[in-house]
């Protein structure tokens, strides 16, 4: 995203054309979100995650070729569609796994997990600014990133726990809790307890589609939709808005984007303890207010100081909506994976409508004025915040003795 101004300049695109090209990423992301449930059910989390990352890496290389080697907006569109397809499916799978880990540990950890995602965007933005400063061709930049990401995923996926609900087939476990075939320290001949087999993949797929009738899930999705639109639109348009709207250079635009993702990272690092102390609803409402104020400052800023202040507030405001939505969706442990998937799909709808909508609005009224649409959706997310309220479950009352 930090190289979008370079892509625009290299292909000589208008603002509306940039929006159409970015739409490839959005469309691919939505297809990936839809495919994620079936991939999880069919392949299990580990294999599906590696497949998704491999598709994204191929897309990065293709987008680089279309920018630097064989200049073609259509080729960049196709590459971004592959990036989105892989990223959309992987995003659902990561959040399903993260929600399960959060429930097992019993603390609010999802914001910290998303902080790692944001830390990656900080590193990516700084690398993009550096690549822009030294005029590194987009192809070599994206090819290096693709290889690094794929290698990291191949190693990291080995440490993801296996889960029957997600289509994995865990090994049999002994009564002591050790995997079958491992030394357990118990006497020979102990009974081996076999965990229940994963349900058939068609059954898991049907369960994944059944949650769309839940009103609470739809309202949580509304929160995530507004916050994701604020985050995703910044990914797509922030650097360009700083360049075209406020007259900054391409390198300065990349730095502004780096400030935004750094603010999001800080919000997510400290978000867990804050949520545990004050609760989801007050924190989400505060985030919405910060985001609204930050957007207003960014759009109307008459000087660089207010521009950067608005960028920081915008990043803080958008930081917790998505991870809190994932946690809220997983409150009901019954079919939690499907609920998380559904909320992620609703939120990522922003990536479908956001880029072309802002591009068309920006072409007509200016990119800064187009950002008022994000402000309106942040208001909607703040109003829907009560849907994410923590659910409390009373302990079962023991039967009277005698």
Q: What is the pLDDT of residue 31?
A: 87
Q: Is the pLDDT of residue 287 over 90?
A: yes
CA distance 248 to 242: 6
Q: Tell me what pLDDT residue 195 has.
A: 47
260-274 average pLDDT score: 89
Give the model's pLDDT for residue 355: 67
Mean pLDDT score across all residues of the chain: 81
State mean pLDDT over 198-215.
Answer: 67
DSSP 166: G
User: What's the CA gap between 100 and 348, in Å, rounded?
Assistant: 21
Query: Domains in the chain, ordered, with CATH?
Result: 4-169+209-388 (1.20.1250.20)
39: helix, strand or coil: helix
Q: What is the pLDDT of residues 334-358, one digit of tens each?
A: 776 678 778 877 877 776 677 677 8
The helix (H) or strand (E) run that includes residue 174 is strand 173-174
pLDDT-derived band of residue 280, with 50, 70 and 90 as boundaries? very high
CB 368 within 8 A of CB 299: yes
Contact 320, 275 (CB under 8 A): yes
CB within 8 A of 256, min separation 6: which ones? 238, 239, 242, 248, 307, 308, 311
Q: Which residues lie closer than 8 Å to 293 by C-beta, 6 or more apart?
A: 310, 313, 317
Please give the Cα distance from 358 to 367 (Å, whole number).
7
């Amino acid at each position: 995203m930090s190289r979008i101004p370079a892509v625009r300049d290299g292909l000589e695109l208008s603002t509306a054309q940039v929006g159409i090209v970015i739409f490839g990423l959005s469309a691919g992301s939505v297809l990936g979100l839809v495919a994620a449930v079936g991939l999880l059910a069919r392949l299990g989390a580990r294999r599906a995650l590696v497949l998704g990352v491999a598709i994204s890496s191929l897309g990065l290389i293709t987008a680089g070729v279309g920018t630097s080697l064989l200049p073609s907006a259509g080729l960049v569109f196709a590459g971004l569609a592959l990036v989105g397809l892989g990223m959309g499916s992987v995003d659902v799978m990561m959040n399903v796994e993260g929600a399960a880990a959060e429930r097992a540990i019993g603390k609010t950890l999802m914001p910290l997990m998303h902080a790692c995602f944001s830390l990656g965007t900080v590193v990516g933005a700084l690398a993009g600014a550096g690549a822009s400063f030294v005029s590194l061709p987009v192809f070599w930049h994206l090819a290096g990133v693709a290889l690094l990401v794929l290698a990291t995923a191949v190693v990291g996926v080995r440490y993801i726990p296996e889960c029957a609900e997600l289509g994995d087939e865990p090994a049999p476990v002994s009564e002591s809790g050790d995997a079958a075939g491992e030394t357990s320290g118990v006497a020979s001949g102990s009974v081996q307890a076999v965990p229940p087999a994963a349900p058939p993949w068609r059954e898991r797929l049907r369960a994944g589609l059944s949650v769309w009738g839940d009103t609470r899930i739809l309202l949580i999705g509304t929160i995530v939709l507004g916050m994701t639109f604020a985050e995703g639109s910044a990914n797509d348009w922030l650097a360009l808005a700083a360049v075209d709207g406020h007259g900054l250079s391409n390198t300065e635009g990349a730095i502004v984007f780096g400030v935004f993702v750094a603010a999001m990272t800080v919000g997510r690092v400290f978000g867990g303890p804050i949520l545990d102390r004050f609760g989801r609803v007050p924190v989400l409402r505060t985030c919405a207010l910060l985001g609204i104020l930050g957007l207003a400052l960014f759009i109307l800023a008459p000087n660089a100081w207010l521009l950067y202040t608005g960028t920081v507030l915008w990043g803080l405001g958008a930081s917790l909506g998505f991870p809190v939505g994932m946690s809220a969706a997983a409150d009901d442990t019954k079919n939690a994976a499907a609920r998380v998937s559904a909320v992620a799909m609703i939120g990522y709808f922003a990536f479908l409508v956001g880029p072309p909508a802002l591009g068309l609005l920006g072409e007509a009224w200016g990119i800064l004025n187009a950002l008022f649409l994000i402000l309106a959706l942040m208001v909607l997310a703040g109003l829907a915040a009560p849907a994410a309220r923590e659910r409390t479950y009373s302990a079962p009352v023991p039967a009277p003795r005698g």
